[in-house]
Structure formats: C-alpha cells, structure tokens
Amino acid sequence: MGIVTDQSPATLQPAETGLVMSDIEAFAERLNSYLEPEQINLVRRAYYYAEQAHDGQTRRSGEPYVTHPLAVAGILAEMHMDYQSLMAAMLHDVIEDTGIPKTALEKQFGATVAELVDGVSKLTQMDFETKAEAQAENFQKMALAMAKDIRVILVKLADRLHNMRTLGALRPDKRRRIAKETLEIYAPIAHRLGMHTLSTEFEDLGFKAMHPMRSTMIDRAVRSARGHRKELLNKILDALQALLDQHQLPGKVMGREKHLYGIYQKMRGKRKAFSDIMDVYAFRIIVDTPDTCYRVLGAVHSLYKPFPGRFKDYIAIPKANGYQSLHTTLFGLHGVPIEIQIRTEEMEETANSGIAAHWLYKSKDDVINGHHARTRKWLKGVLEMQERAGNSLEFIENVKIDLFPDEVYIFTPKGRIMELAKGSTPVDFAYAVHTDIGNSCIACRVNRRLAPLSEPLQSGQTVEIITAPGARPNPAWLTFVTTGKARSNIRHFLKHQRHAESVALGERLLDKVLTGFETRLADISEQRINSVLAEYGLELMEDLLADIGLGNRMAYVVARRLLLNDSQQDQAADEHAQAEYESDAALAVKGTEGMVVSFARCCNPIPGDPIIGLTSVGRGLEIHQENCRDLSQRKVQPDSTLQLTWDKDVSGEFTVELQVELEQQRGIIAQLATSTNMADASIDKISVDERDGRISIVQLVVRVRDRLHLSQLIKRLRALNGVMRITRLKN
C-alpha cells in the first residue's frame, strides 16, 4: 500500500492522491480554537499516515479515499472532540481496508488510538453464513469496545453519517440495506446518547434512501405548508417574544421545524393526516437558568390556555439520555395548538449534541457528570446483555429493544425513580431493580393494588414486586416483556436451567444403559472419557450428558464408545446395549425433570397410564401413552423410543382433556366448574358446542394428579343432574 509500518512518524509525507495540500491545513486551522498545537500536529500526522495507507484507493464517487476519513474527522471536530478521537477518525479504515495490523498503529500512535480504530473496524477475517450474522457480530465487537471507551461509538456515528450523506453513489439495494441498518441501530443509539441533531439527520437521510418517493412528497408538502402559515407563525412568535419582554424574562424564541421522518412516523403510527400534524405550531424558548424556565412557563400559561395533561417536566426528571426541558401544549390563536419547549442554553446544547456536548473525555478516575454517568450505566447494561446472550443475533435483538426512544417513569415503594421503555411491565421493572428480584418475582402491586405481571405500566405509578424463595422465571414472560435486560436475563436463566436438566436426564439415560454392562459411569477411567470426548469434539463430560438428555446423541451408542475399543467388541456391545436399551428395565419418570421432559399433547399421559418415551433432537424426552395413535402413525426409529414407568413419588399436575355430553339447562356450566373445583382439580380451558338445541358438548381441559384423581373427578361430574356421558379424549 506504499507505507512502511515501522517508519518514524516525523518522516511521513503526503502521498500523491490528488488532494490539495490546503485541505488538511484548513482542517488544522479549525482545530486551533480548542486544541493545543502539539495535539493538532498529532492529528496532522494521522492524516498523512492514512493518506499513504489509502494511496491508490478511491470511493465509489471517484474521489480519493482519504477524503472520507478527513470528512469524518471534520464531523467530530464540529462536536469539539478530543485529538485522539480525531486521529482515530483519520485512521478508522486503515486496519479494515489496507491490511495494516493494529500493532503497527499502536507503535505509531499509541495504544489508545489503536484501540479506538480497532473498535470501529469490522471483522473482515471471518466468514459468516448470512449478512444478518455478520452485522450482528460486528455490532457486538463494537459494543464491547465502546463499553471500554465511549469514543468508539462517536467515531462510528461520524463515519456512518458521512456514509449516509454520500449514499448516492451506491446501488439502490445497498443504499436500502445501509439505510435500514441506520434507522434500526445508529439513529436510536444517537438518540440514546442524547445527540438529537445527529439522530434527526440519520432519520431523514435513512428515510430518503428507504422511501425516496414518500420523502420527496412530504418534503414538498412541508415547503408548501410553511409558506401558507408564515403569517400566523410570525404573529405567535412576536406574541411570545413580547411576553418575555413584558415580564422582563431574558430569552429568545424560535420556531421549531418538524423533520420529515418524524412527520412520516406520526402519520403512520398515529394514523393522522398530514394537515393534522402541520396544524401544530412548535416553538422553543431558550433562557439563562432553570429558574427562569419555570417563570417563563407560568407566563406562557397566562398568555394561552394550556392543554390538560400535556405538560411534562424533564428538568426535574430528565430523560434516560440526559435530555432536559419543559414541554407544554397551548390553545393558541383561533384554537391552533402550540407546542412549546423551554430550556436553558446548556440544556439546548446537550439536547442537540448529547454526550459530545462540550466534550472533555473523562477517565475512570475523573469526576463523571450526570450525563456521562447515565451513558456509563447504559453501556454497563449493554455489557450485561452481551454476557447473557446466546449469540450475536440474540444480543443485537436485545439491544434494538433497549433502544426504544420513549420512556415511562416508575416509582419504587421508597420513592426512587426508575426509567423504563414505554410499554414496560412489572416484570421489566423487577429486572431493572435487580436481576435476582426479577428471577424470583411471583406477583406485584401497582399503586398498592394487586395487578397482573403483564400489565403495561404508566408514568407516575408506584410498583412493588412480591418475591418468593425458589421461584423462577416463567417462559411465558418472554411474550410480554419489553426491555432488553428483562428478555436477556429470562433467556439466560431458562437456558441454564434447561442445560442443568438435560445433564441430569442424560446421566440417568446413560446410567440405565451402563447398568446392563454391570458398570457405572464412575467406574470408567478418566483417560477413556477424555478419548471419547475428543472423538465427539467436546471438552466436558457435562456437554456430552447434555447432548444425550436433549436427544442429540443416543445413550447406548455413547455407552458403547465408553466401554469398548476394538471393532469385534463394538459389535457385541452394540447388540448388548441395544437389547438393554429395549429391555423391560424402564426408566422412572418423576414429573420434576423440567423442560427437557415434556408430556405429549396428542394423548396427554398422566400417572397410572402405561407410557413410552420418544427422544428427538434438541427437544429431550417426549412422553406418550403406549397406545398413542399419533405416535404409531409417525415413522419413528426404534432406537429413539424408550420404555418408561412412573416413579412411586411422582409429583405435579397433569393435563387431561374430557368431553362431557349433557342436557341443556340453566347453570349447568357453573355446576361443572364448581364440581371440578370441589374435586381439587383446576380448569385450564372450557368450550361449549350446542347440538340440535337440546344437548351440549363441553370440552373440558383440566389438571389432575394421577388416574385415581381423574377417576374421582369423573365420578363427581357424573353425579350432576343432566350429565349423560363423559369421555377422556386421546389424540
């Protein structure tokens, strides 16, 4: 690439790229306002290095490639980012596109800059099956890097912004793919970091690339509407400014433009016409202190009548991304709605630039202000999700969920405020308080009343979580939780629970076969176990047992490999093990094996029924009745079935489906429910089908302990007046 990696920094010279020498000098001139001369020289050195590294490379537009890193550094310079961020921006594509290793950058520019560049670089040396997997792995790598140094994401956001600004040179399909990724990930991240200006530009550029026709039409309509309402806009603006002068309140009033993607989202999400959205006039009032904000609020409320319930105080309770402002909506001239935001200059700067506002990079030893503290807290949550995610695709799904822009503010019983994503439930709240609270949650009180765990929470509610020792997450929670933290913790717990249960079942299945050889797993040498594990490409015996429990490997085949070595003995062992596997020495089912043992819905076996087990890959052991018609119709391999029996200490409740034929009469369904309850059974589902106006067929799904309990229930139901026939349904 025309660069010597061990060359002294002082000897680096600009390559022949066609760039005018003044480009970097003009950029360096801009940095004089806030960087030291030595720091500017280091940025200049990084530029020359990148120029040589990318020598001969061009962008799709035909420009020298080095114009891109220079533009990225320019975006960061507008945010007044530190010199190391600007150096990383200059070098951000060197590792990925030129083959220069991270160690060479570290030698030239130091470990910090090299780490920043590496954090932004994609994983180019790995092969991925799908683009989605590649995207997820690259994002996961970047997330880990930005958790160590937040500047990684700021460099990446600037890189993405320049790419979005220059999308026109790409193919339409590639434009749409990059725009989709920007709208789903990078715009929400910018919003989460409080960088409103960046987030808005991402959304408008992404919208234009994804839906060019819609973007053009809305843009044209906005320009037209702006001209029509200019007179009224100026009247309101003058009235607000005169009000400030009258009350001697220092401040400036400005009209607030709605961006195209925001208009489009409101039209789609709230099903509003364009005219309804544009009829709302938006203004921003910038003042000197928070105290003045509240005084201005009182003044504007005296000028125009406020809308009830439309006032929000984000100064007392800032948003999760650090945003602060007062929001109110008023009835203006001729009843026109006026949205007003009131904030200080500092709040305005933070709202627009977020974490990059007045940037002073803080190390772990420095005092961290509120905004940085919130960002660190969010990044810590991202790290926790990464640790608990099964793979990169699951991780990126959880992060996307966690990037919802809207929040609700919930109080703990002690008055602490918790920020949660809109639509969050008490389960989300429990996990936000602490992972252990979420895992052991069994019920909740919302504003001191018992409420369902799936109920969406509203801002201002007080939530109390009720826990119980030994309680564990319910898989059904995954259908209604909203936050990434709750989702990743539930999945993590269930995954580990399933693993432990599959190991226990695998050990029982393997011991059953080994018993036929008059031996036990404990009697097999460690050397032989390690040899078999190496054959299967596994590290731990626990993993092998889990595979057996999940049905991924057959117990008798594993037993054969553990016990014997030569081929003649292998054949004898195979016959012996197969015979033992199919023998009458049945495996006892306790009912407490967990998720790796399931009871087939086709025949609903209960304790007392003759049963048989079916092992299937990845699902563990499925229990059927021996005479299950559904099982007999399947093409089941003989070695995947297993003789089972019920353990004498079997416990739990088991599902049974009954069909009750009865004469129609008032209150008969209520009598059925009462009698079921009196028999100490519970109803899961009940449905009624009327026949010829005289007879009703009731399908009753109930839970019982065993066949004796079922017999007692049927006897009680038959005693009811009007019940003609009761049948237990199978298949």
The continuous run of DSSP H or E covering 29 comes out as helix 22-31
What are the backbone dihedrals phi and psi of residue 450, each rounded to the nearest 5 degrees, phi first? -65, 135
Longest CA pairwise span in the chain (Å): 104
Helix axes 196-210, 212-228, angle to 10 degrees: 120
Count Cβ atoms within 10 A of the Cβ of residue 426 and give its class: 0-12 exposed, 13-18 middle, 19 or more buried: buried
Count Cβ atoms within 10 A of the Cβ of residue 680 and give its class: 0-12 exposed, 13-18 middle, 19 or more buried: exposed
Which position has the token pair 């066609």? Answer: 18
- CA distance linking residue 44 with residue 13, whole number of Å: 11
Is the distance from CB of 179 to CB of 221 less than 8 angstroms?
no
Which residues lie closer than 8 Å to 708 by C-beta, 6 or more apart? 608
Which position has the token pair 């012996």? Answer: 576
545 to 460, 507, 524, 528, 592: CA distances (angstroms): 50, 6, 15, 15, 18
Cα 71-75-79 angle, rounded to 5 deg: 155
Which residues lie closer than 8 Å to 578 by C-beta, 6 or more apart? 556, 639
Q: What SS3 class is residue 42? A: helix
Is the distance from CB of 196 to CB of 356 less than 8 angstroms?
no
Which position has the token pair 């720091």? Answer: 39
- CA distance linking residue 441 with residue 423, whole number of Å: 19
- CA distance linking residue 51 with residue 40, whole number of Å: 17
Q: What is the 3-state secondary structure (H, E, C) of 328-353?
A: EEEECHHHCEEEEEEEEHHHHHHHHH
- In the structure, how many helices (H) and strands (E) does the chain have? 30, 20
- CA distance linking residue 424 with residue 483, whole number of Å: 7
- CA distance linking residue 147 with residue 115, whole number of Å: 12
Catalytic residue among 96, 397, 455, 647: 96
What letter represents residue 638's amino acid?
P
Is the distance from CB of 309 to CB of 366 less than 8 angstroms?
no
Rg (CA), the chain: 34
- CA distance linking residue 344 with residue 325, whole number of Å: 8
Strands (E) in 600-694, as ranges, are 611-616, 620-625, 641-646, 654-663, 682-691
Q: What is the 3-state secondary structure (H, E, C) of 216-266?
A: HHHHHHHHHHHHHCHHHHHHHHHHHHHHHHHCCCCEEEEECCCCHHHHHHH
Token pair in block for residue 119? 């954090």
Token pair in block for residue 535? 């054959």
Catalytic residue among 97, 313, 542, 582: 97
695: left (phi over 0), alpha (psi -120 to 50) or beta: beta
Told to judge if 97 belongs to the known catalytic residues of this protein, a careful annotator would answer: yes
Which position has the token pair 């990084």? Answer: 46
Token pair in block for residue 21? 């020498």
* Alpha-carbon 141 to chain mean position: 16
What letter represents residue 584's amino acid?
D
Which residues lie closer than 8 Å to 518 by C-beta, 6 or more apart? none
- CA distance linking residue 113 with residue 522, whole number of Å: 54
- CA distance linking residue 311 with residue 297, whole number of Å: 10
- State the sign of the Cα–Cα–Cα–Cα dihedral 127, 133, 139, 144: negative
Residues recognised as catalytic: 96-97
